[in-house]
Every structure is written in C-alpha cells, then in structure tokens.
Structure 1
C-alpha cells in the first residue's frame, strides 16, 4: 500500500491486532487517501487542559484512535495498539485575539490543513484548538481524521457520544431517527390495489436495471459534461477550501411539509437549483466575455450531464470500484443528521457543527449537517476549479429563500 512501509511485528501483536477492513485499505489507495474534517464552533473559549484530559478518557478509549496501521512482512495490514502521546495530536497555536479578520484566518487554517497529511508513525488523527472569536463562535475546534478510521456517520456518532445536552449535562443528545413509510393494505387486496402493486414492482425492476447499467457505464466510460464545476482528472492532491453557510431548519421543514417530501429531498432540490444558478452565471459571463452578448435568462448549454454521488448510511460492497466511480462524476453530496437540541462538548457549549473531507479527486463536495434548529451546508472545493465558493453558498441560500417564499405565497393565495 502506498505510504505505508512494511514492518515486522511480534507474533503477539499479529494475533491481537485486527486486520483492516477492505474499505479501510481502499482509503490508502491513490486518489482515495481521504481525511475527514469536522469543524465545531463553541460559545466559549476552549480550555486546552480540559480538552486534552477529556480526550484521554473518551476518544482514546476507541481502539482505532490509539492504534497504528501497519503492514506486516506478508503484506497484510493490521491495527497495532500503542501508547498515545496527546502532544502529537493536539495543536494549540498561539493566536492574536485582535487579528484583523478571524473568520478568514479560521477558513485559511482549515484550508492549509488540506495541503498536509498525518505521519503514519502515529494514529491518523489530530485536533486543532483555535481560541479566536469569529462571527459565529467564541472559539473553533478542527478535528482531522483519516477516513480509514471510520466514515462520516460512525465518526459523528463517536464524537457525539462524548457530548451532552446543554440543558442536561448528564444526558446524551438525541439524534433524529429515519421514519420509513411502509404502506400496508388491510385484509385482501382489491383488484386496483393488486394492479397498483404490480405496476410498482414493474417500475422498481425497470429502474433497478437502468440504474445498474448507468453505474456500469460510469465505472467504465460514462463521463460527466465538462463544466466550471468539474476538473480534469487526475486532479491530484490540490489544496481545498472549506466554506460553510448556516440555513434555517424551520425553512427547510416548511418546504418539506408543503411538498409532502423529506428533508433530504429538499436539500437535494436546493443543491440542484443552486448549482443551476451558479453555472448559469458562469456560462453567462463566458458569453459576455467571448462574444459581447447581452445577459440571458438561460445561458446553460443543452444536455448537460452532471451527476452526484449521494452518500447514504450503508456499507458498500468491497467489489465496487470506488476510485473509478469517483474519477467520472462531478460532485459528492452527503446529508448527516446531527443532534436535535443544543449540546456541550467536554463542558464547552457548541455553536455549530460543519463536516467535510479532502483527498478525493473531485472539485466539489457538499455536506449538510443538522444541529438543533439549524442546518450547516459545507463546501469542500478545489480552488483551482472553483475560485468563488462563497458565491456558490449564496446561490444555495437563495434557492432555499425562493422555495420558501413560493410556499408562503401559495399558502396566502390558496382558498383553503
């Protein structure tokens, strides 16, 4: 495996250490050396001593956060338990509390992390404590964790297990549960109910066949259209920029209830509308620059193929060619449910939670995390491809505002 040198371990360590899962091994392949970034804002300054002491009694209890990933002489990769020195993992830079632009500093700090990796000689995670006041928080903590230690859902669950409700320091936070609709028909089916279920089954089979064919085409040859959002592969490990925007969960629920759909559906719709607005502006600027054309309401070319990989909470098959699938789509999208109420982390009240990652060969990744009555949209972008991520955040925000206003207007004019 690239980046990991073969070493000899004792027979005892070999027997005690668990082998890495196929997914964890994939995370060490070229263009899959991914690091997860969790940015947490706090409503109070961070106490480094309290934070480090709490890490020792929480995060370090998890075997993967206190183990090395080693390659035995035979080539098999295993976890090997070690004694962790927290000074190698917790960074507390000395900062100027009167700096000119603290928001920009925190954004640049996270961006600079994407240019570096963590030494394979220590467990693959670190924490950065930034005691500087920004527009959203009194302090910021950035967790950087290699994807081989877990996926976004499992790592978020682990971090939240260390938190408590702000209203009750002894209680764990509540995480929203997914309510799946399971329609049933009492008694015997009528003829139309039978035909309806049969038609639904036919559609399911047809859509499954189409999806499988598109997936195979994506793996082997089907490329997305070259747009201002898509880079030319291979992108390499370019510097990423992480920007985030807070939107109202109540606004999202307003649209959800009006359309009779789910929060995830609304967020996908907001993303589609926001990307359309962003691309329409980009193509409009290009026309104006190249041809001197007047501004047009619709500048999008016909037949754009722009696809996203939507990450869901299931374990993928080890046989899926994830690297090939990443090298042909435009973006990744993920929606992670967070705590339903405000929480504290090691005694520090949390202002926001933002989730993202870097190391993947895509110019754009969009993550959404809910927290209390807010939702945080986080963009991870390749600055060489998308130089104005804050404008894209504006487009996403504007898309939600347009949907919300349309619902409110419809409710006012609806005679019911």
Structure 2
C-alpha cells in the first residue's frame, strides 16, 4: 500500500490526523451544495453495502480506517451551524474510531441471515446520526450467508460528498486480489472526452434538446407530476424507513444483448429497468382490480438519472482531499421518461432506452441542473434551492443511477469482496434503483419505501425475468 502520514493518538481509541497543515485546522464553511443536503427533503444519506468472502476482523478495519479515512478533513470534522445566519462550518475534532465502527448485536433466534441483514440496514434509515461527531459510520455484521462470511455497511451523510467521490474513497482502500499492490481498474476510458460538436446541425441538436430539457425541468419544478401509480410515493416519503434489496444478474447476458443489438451496456440496463417496472406495475394493477390489468394509458413515469460531472473515472487516492480537488457534490441530473407498458417485442424496451440516452447525450441537461441549482443558491438562498430540488424529485417517480465497478476481484483491507451495493435513503421518492458492475456480475440495488412498494422482492424478480426475456429475443434476432 502507499505510505501514509503518521497518526497521533490522543486518548485511548482516539486519533487525530497530523497530515493537516496548521492553517487547514481552522474552521471552514461548507460549500453551498453540501449545505443544501441539510435542508428538509434533501437530507440524504449514502449507504454502501459490502459483502466479504472472509470473516471480518473489526480491529483490522479500525486500524486501517484511521490510516485512510482520517486523512480526509471531512471525516474528522464536525458540521456546526451558525444559528444567526444559517451557515455551517467544518470544525476539526478528535475522532474516537470506536464511535464510528459499530459491531452489530446478533439475534440468536434469527430465522434467516439475509432477512436479519435486510432488517438491520432498514433500521439504520430511522436511526439518525449524532451531529456531535463526524457524520459517517461503519456497521459490521458478523453473519454468514450463502455468498458471504460477513457484511459491512458504510453510512455517510451526503454533505460529505457525492456517490462518486465516496465510492472512489472506498475503492482507493481496496487492492486487486491478483496484485495486492495495485488499485482496481474501472471499465471504459480513464477520462471522458469533452463534448465535440461536429457540425452546425449537431450543435443545433444539442441546443434544441437542452431547451426541451430546460422546459421540462421548469414545468416539473412548478406543477408537472408523474402519474399516480403504485410506485409513486406520497408526501413525507423521505422520512419513512427504507428497505434495501440486492439482485445480481449476469454481465455476460447483458453483453450478449448489447452486441446483438449494437447498443451500449447502459442502454441494456435501462431497457431492463423499464421492462421490469412495466411488469411490476402490470401485476399490481391486476391485483388491485380483481385480476383485470386496468393499466392507465400514457403513464407518465420519470426517473431522475444522476451524472458524474468530473472528467476522470480513474480510481485514485481519494483519502487525501488536499491532494485532489475531487471532493464535494459535483453531480447533475436529467429526467428520463420511461415508456411503460408490456411490449409485443421485448427488444423495444432496449430501443426505447437507446433513444432516451441518445437525446440525453446530445443535451446539456446535467450541466444545467448543476449550475442552475448553484445559481439559485447564490441569488435566492438555501431555502429556495431546497424547495426547488424537492419539487423536482417529488414530482418524479424514482431515482436511477448506473456506475461501473471494478473489473477484477478486489480485497478491502485484506478481506475479499463478494459484492458492492451502493444506495441512498432520505430522498423524496419511493424507489431508487442503483446499478453497479463488479467482475462478471451486474447488481441492481433497490431502495424502497415498503408502504408504497410492499413486495420489493417481486420487483427484483421482474428485473431478472425481464433480462431473461430480452436475452431470449436478442438470441433469436442474432441467429
């Protein structure tokens, strides 16, 4: 591993990072975007679930977290509000690592280890973090399942950083199993190329798509709501407990569809998501109407799709925020209109997804939403920006995110990783679907409000069945 700065021990179990320069120990204000995540309706937490193929050693985790996480000022600072002006500041503090690493108490009478893990993580969503310590923790569940010898659950307040920076923080603590000195690699290019405008016509296309996206964004913020389906959350859904489910499918199956249809992996994943949601809603409407599928025509169902606005996707030493200017919340989002309904040709779901993503690729919508939110913060303040974000998120149906993960098997502090499953809670919608790849699998991670979606395992099955049907259709087309 890379050499790390020394750690000064203050009291038993307490550590404080010597790596900060003296001037960096002064109070510093939270960025406007970080402050926004403390507003009502935007008080979002990021969950990172990691399955271990080997039994977890808590002391190894504690020792290594002190050498990695505590190099980053955000992970050893309080967020303190000035009651007079409403601003918040990072105030460095001593950190007792034992306050942040929690060993879960096991139920000796548990009937199912998987159900115990589900219930434990769900309970975290109604267990607030204390603001008397930095807003992160790690829960270790020493429970064996069919896939794992143990499970660890990271929890971060979104003000610490967005999902990309936090995922890279975790990955920077991992190494390839095949090469214990090497960081994992992500699929695709290390740097995303800048948008190129090949002609006047393509430039006009970008302008037109961006204007349409802008109009839909404004209308959604004002009044345009999605259809009230069995997936649409009610007022206050952001304060309700969430349940997290993990469904892994074959990456080879997705690649087969990709090659047969000459599309991208993202197109296939979004197409499977649209098909799975359509199947789920068809069944729910049938159950609600005595077996008759009384599905409304022209359902408006949109996903808020998040985009990373950073230029690089390379895994780097994200533990040291002073070395890299990569921290913060640098994400934009776009609204994806899904075409809900059972298709005669299942491949139409992938074709729909490709058309949706092609429009978004020739649009500045993610950049617009990021800069517009920042502009609103500067002109009208935190409350106005918070209300706008809340209205947009609440008026749509789900959050959707799709990120690439390591291509090879990795270990985290010497523990072989079985799976990675990032997600969120606190968002004002009843469903989030986060898709992440790892080795030869693609994992759908669902975050659901069970009052709205009482049978989320069926939705997981619908996603798997949709992929199977799309794959079978693609094989017929291919051969």
TM over 0.5: yes
Partner residue of 1:373 out of 436, 440, 465: 440
Distance 2:194 2:32 in 1: 33
User: Would the aligned equivalents of 2:118 and 2:244 in 1 still touch at CA under 8 Å?
Assistant: yes
Alpha-carbon offset, residue 184 of structure 1: 9.1
Partner residue of 2:284 out of 279, 282, 285: 282
Check if 1:231 corresponds to 2:228: no
SS at match of 2:478: helix
Larger mean Cα displacement after TM superposition, 203-212 or 354-363: 203-212
Alpha-carbon offset, residue 398 of structure 1: 1.0
Distance 2:407 2:438 in 1: 6
User: Would the aligned equivalents of 2:174 and 2:412 in 1 still touch at CA under 8 Å?
Assistant: yes
**Residues 145-186 of structure 1: per-residue CA shift (max 9 Å, x gap):** 10000111100001100110011111111122348689999x
Alpha-carbon offset, residue 324 of structure 1: 2.0
Check if 1:109 corresponds to 2:109: no
Larger mean Cα displacement after TM superposition, 91-100 or 362-371: 91-100
SS at match of 2:419: strand
Partner residue of 2:78 out of 63, 68, 77: 68
2:6 matched residue in structure 1: none
1:101-250 matches, within 5 Å, as: 101-178=112-189, 197-250=199-252
**Residues 207-252 of structure 1: per-residue CA shift (max 9 Å, x gap):** 2221111110001110111000002223241010001101111111
Alpha-carbon offset, residue 201 of structure 1: 3.6
Alpha-carbon offset, residue 72 of structure 1: 3.4
1:40 matched residue in structure 2: 50
TM-score with structure 2 setting the length: 0.76
Alpha-carbon offset, residue 98 of structure 1: 7.8
Larger mean Cα displacement after TM superposition, 146-155 or 171-180: 171-180
Partner residue of 2:65 out of 34, 55, 70: 55
Alpha-carbon offset, residue 17 of structure 1: 2.5
SS at match of 1:370: strand
1:190 matched residue in structure 2: none
Partner residue of 1:25 out of 29, 35, 38: 35
User: Would the aligned equivalents of 1:234 and 1:327 in 2 still touch at CA under 8 Å?
Assistant: no
Check if 1:303 corresponds to 2:298: yes
Distance 2:236 2:52 in 1: 37
User: Would the aligned equivalents of 2:260 and 2:475 in 1 still touch at CA under 8 Å?
Assistant: no
User: Would the aligned equivalents of 1:97 and 1:133 in 2 still touch at CA under 8 Å?
Assistant: no
Distance 1:132 1:308 in 2: 34
2:269 matched residue in structure 1: 267
SS at match of 2:301: coil
Alpha-carbon offset, residue 202 of structure 1: 3.6
SS at match of 1:332: strand
Distance 1:176 1:236 in 2: 33
Alpha-carbon offset, residue 369 of structure 1: 1.0
**CA-based RMSD:** 2.2
Check if 1:323 corresponds to 2:390: yes
Larger mean Cα displacement after TM superposition, 170-179 or 225-234: 170-179
SS at match of 2:295: coil
1:339 matched residue in structure 2: 406
Alpha-carbon offset, residue 128 of structure 1: 0.5
Unaligned runs of 5+ in 1: 1-11, 186-193, 289-293
**Residues 25-79 of structure 1: per-residue CA shift (max 9 Å, x gap):** 0100001111110000000110011111111111111111111011236533111
Which of these two proteins has the greater Rg computed from alpha carbons?
1
User: Would the aligned equivalents of 1:245 and 1:376 in 2 still touch at CA under 8 Å?
Assistant: yes
Check if 1:90 corresponds to 2:91: no
2:255 matched residue in structure 1: 253
Q: 1:220 to 1:345 in 2, by over 3 A?
A: same
Distance 2:136 2:212 in 1: 40
SS at match of 1:58: helix
Question: How many matched pairs?
Answer: 384
User: Would the aligned equivalents of 1:13 and 1:80 in 2 still touch at CA under 8 Å?
Assistant: no
Alpha-carbon offset, residue 300 of structure 1: 2.2
Alpha-carbon offset, residue 406 of structure 1: 1.2
Distance 2:452 2:472 in 1: 32
